Amino acid sequence: MTATPTPLHLVRGNAVGTSTFGFGASGGPYSFTTPQPPPGRHLLSIALCNDLHLGETTAGLVGGLPLLRGVPQQPGRAPYPELMSRALVEEARRRGADLLLAGGDISAGGAAHDLGEARRILDGFGTHGQDYFVVRGNHDRSVDNSTFLAAFPGLAGSDGPGYFARDLGGLRIIGLDTYVKTGNGADAGGLGPEQLAWFQAGLRAAPDQPTVVFGHHPLTVRDSVFPVTRGQCLERRQARTVVDSYASAPGVFLHHAGHTHRNKRTVLVRAPHVTQQEVAAAKEYPGGFTLLRIHSGGYALNHYKAGDLAARQWSERSRRVAAGLWPHHALGRSVTDRNSVAAHDLSGVTPLSGLSRSVNREQR
């Protein structure tokens, strides 16, 4: 039986393959070319995820627009944010992830119960601050940031309560809190002057060190099906400052962002050695995470759907978000928005010791 792909006529490009055969007609068959692995030996793998939204009950209520009714979970089934988050953790472990980075909007509204549940789920992957790292998104905001920090305390030795840098076998991980401001969450992200100065100083101190940066708000949003507003990005001047810092730091190679709930790969024009990878929301279609595979001569980014049956069922149900337009937005304009390979000298990174992690996971 021939599969019938969703016609993606609202996006330029072809999200389901590189072949244009059948476009404008009945559609398909589509094809794509699987890229070769990055050069050099494999060093470690990192699961990139975001937008778990623990506590949410209806997917697709975009900006409260009255015409977008949203999609709830079927009666009697587990809450979909919990279901999808647990499936993500299991799939990331199954795919061999050594680390996990959760890039904000861990909860739907910053409630202590929801953040606590997120902590319990993510602890299934490993130890916070060692095996996985979390930053705050605009949905995680509270009056004094206390609920988020109660669930995910600031890491020992961090320079700020919600941002940090860690050296893991020569790989520097920088986590940013992109909503250090007052607001209702719908406005542009902001780092705050202290965090921005700390970030710039850190890159100047070690510009050549292989570095992954992750934070909730993207630096730039391009080629969106939906209107792009200021609330979808980091504040414009701060984003420009970050990119200027990248231009002088050749060791930075990846900026992982969430917030847009889509897969999108963007090479930063003013810092072409840096890829910004937006990762689709864990909580809804297509549902999953992006696996960053680091090799000595480059890296690969591959998006994986959670394999759990109940997660797959919810993923298919939630593809109806935004009146059925969601696949046009969430998949990306091309296969390379979900799967790509880039060359970069990462020979200074050493493999993480997997012995203690393997023992701990077997015990869990």
Unique residue bearing structure tokens 């061999």: 96
| pLDDT (average), residues 41-66 | 88
- Model pLDDT, residue 12: 59
CA–CA separation, 258 and 263 (whole Å): 9
Alpha-carbon gap, residue 19 to 333, rounded angstroms: 13
Radius of gyration of the chain, Cα coordinates, nearest whole angstrom: 19
Confidence label for 355 from pLDDT (cuts 50, 70 and 90): very low
User: Is 19 within 8 Å of 30 (Cβ atoms)?
Assistant: yes
36 — pLDDT class (breaks 50, 70, 90): confident
Residue 205 near residue 247, CB atoms below 8 Å: no
What's residue 16's pLDDT? Answer: 61
State residue 228's pLDDT score: 83
Report the distance separating Cα 173 and Cα 167, nearest Å: 6
Alpha carbon distance 48, 214 (integer Å): 9
pLDDT digits (tens, 9 = 90+) for 100-152: 999 999 999 999 999 999 999 999 999 999 999 999 999 999 866 789 999 99
CA distance 320 to 15: 17
Strands 171-175 and 132-135: unpaired
Query: Which of 68-77, 268-277, 282-291 is the least confident region?
Result: 68-77
Q: Between residues 330 and 2, which one has the greater pLDDT?
A: 330
The whole model's pTM is what? Answer: 0.91
- Provide the sign of the torsion angle of the four alpha carbons 223, 334, 246, 291, taken in this order: positive
pLDDT band at 22; cut points 50, 70, 90: very low
The secondary structure of residue 14, as a DSSP letter, is B
Q: What is the mean pLDDT of the chain?
A: 88
Contacts of residue 237, defined as CB under 8 A and 6 or more positions apart, other chains included, come to none
Per-residue CA distances from 218 to 125, 189, 204, 239, 245 (Å): 25, 9, 22, 8, 15
Sole residue written with tokens 């979900």: 338
Q: Give Cα 278 to chain centroid, integer Å.
A: 6
Q: Report the distance separating Cα 348 and Cα 342, nearest Å.
A: 17
Residue 5 vs residue 231, higher pLDDT: 231
Q: How far is CA 90 from each of CA 157, 256, 343, rounded to the nearest angstrom?
A: 30, 21, 29
Omega before residue 75 within 30° of 0, cis: no
Question: Would the pLDDT of 31 be above 70?
Answer: no
